[in-house]
Amino acid sequence: MATGRPKKRYHHGGLREALIEAAEQELAEKGIEGFTLRGVAKRAGVSHAAPAHHFRDTGELLTALAAVGAQRFLSGMTEREAAAGDDPRGRFVATGRAYIEFALANPALFELMFGSKRPDFDEPIYTTPASQSFRVLVDGIAALRGDDPLTSREGRAAVMSAWSLVHGFASLVIAGRVRFIREDFEADPTGTIERLIAPVVPRPEEKR
């Protein structure tokens, strides 16, 4: 019989990535408030102090995890936007829908990215994809308005209204505070999102 499977190597090989994966599982199962570094180490099959050789402390691991989430978040929005065609309104609605669907598909990760203070959100690995996501939002509004929204109070308020709407919806649904709309959403996700965000992106015939 040849070499047994490489189960008990002393050196892991790709422990850093394995820890991030394990951390995502731990976060998804326990939530941010039940998240434990020792639990992550156990999932990765490694001793409790091993993570210290790859992450200074728990916050640094959570920063890396938040960055992974931000990257996935950005990808989801840009892919949906590209698939939506040329109509500015259709593209914008698609990104809003991607925002909500990411949040509902990755609730704990979403919480980590927007509701926790443990990661360091000033780290470039996080700020880079996060800023790009913000750019997607601003550009979408710009295409609808025909100007740079950040240069006027009205424009900034328009950006903020749209962002607040999808973000608030995602947060409230995740928090489990709005069962009445969750039913509508599961029965008809597209229509529900359309009705939800209609106030901030009026249909063409309703404009003016």
Partner DNA sequence: CCTGCAATCTTGACGCTGTCAACTTGAATC
Partner DNA sequence: GATTCAAGTTGACAGCGTCAAGATTGCAGG
Summarize as ranges the residues that interact with a second copy (CB under 8 A).
31-33, 111, 114-118, 121, 150, 153-154, 156-157, 159-161, 163-169, 171-172, 175-178, 180-181, 184, 188, 191-192, 195-200
Query: Does residue number 37 form part of the binding site for DNA (CB under 7 A)?
Result: yes
Distance between CA atoms of residues 131 and 70, nearest Å: 10
Q: What's the min distance (Å) between Cβ of 170 and a second copy?
A: 8
Does 145 participate in binding DNA (rule CB under 7 A)? Answer: no
Shorter beta-carbon distance to a second copy: residue 105 or 150: 150
| Beta carbon of residue 42, minimum distance to DNA (angstroms, whole number) | 8
38: contact with DNA by CB under 7 A: yes
Length of the chain: 208
Of 148, 143, 120, nearest to 61 by C-alpha is: 120
Q: 37 touches which of a second copy, DNA, none (CB within 5 to 8 A by kind)?
A: DNA
Rule CB under 7 A: is residue 46 a binding residue for DNA?
yes
Of the two residues 46 and 160, which places its CB atom closer to DNA in the complex?
46
Partner that binds at residue 63, options DNA, a second copy, none, CB closer than 5 to 8 Å by kind: none
The torsion of the CA quartet 173, 174, 176, 181, rounded to 10 degrees, works out to 20
Which of residues 85 and 191 has its CB atom nearest to a second copy in the complex? Answer: 191
Burial class (CB in 10 A: 0-12, 13-18, 19+), 96: buried
177 binds DNA (CB under 7 A): no
The DSSP secondary-structure symbol of 87 reads -
Q: Is 51 exposed, middle or buried (0-12, 13-18, 19+ CB in 10 A)?
A: buried
Tokens for 111? Answer: 């919480």
31 binds, among DNA, a second copy, none (CB under 5 to 8 A by kind): a second copy
Positive or negative, the CA dihedral 84, 79, 191, 202 is negative
Q: Which of 29, 16, 30 is nearest to 67 (CA)?
A: 16
- Residues forming the site for DNA (CB under 7 A): 9-13, 15, 35-39, 46-50, 52-54, 56-59
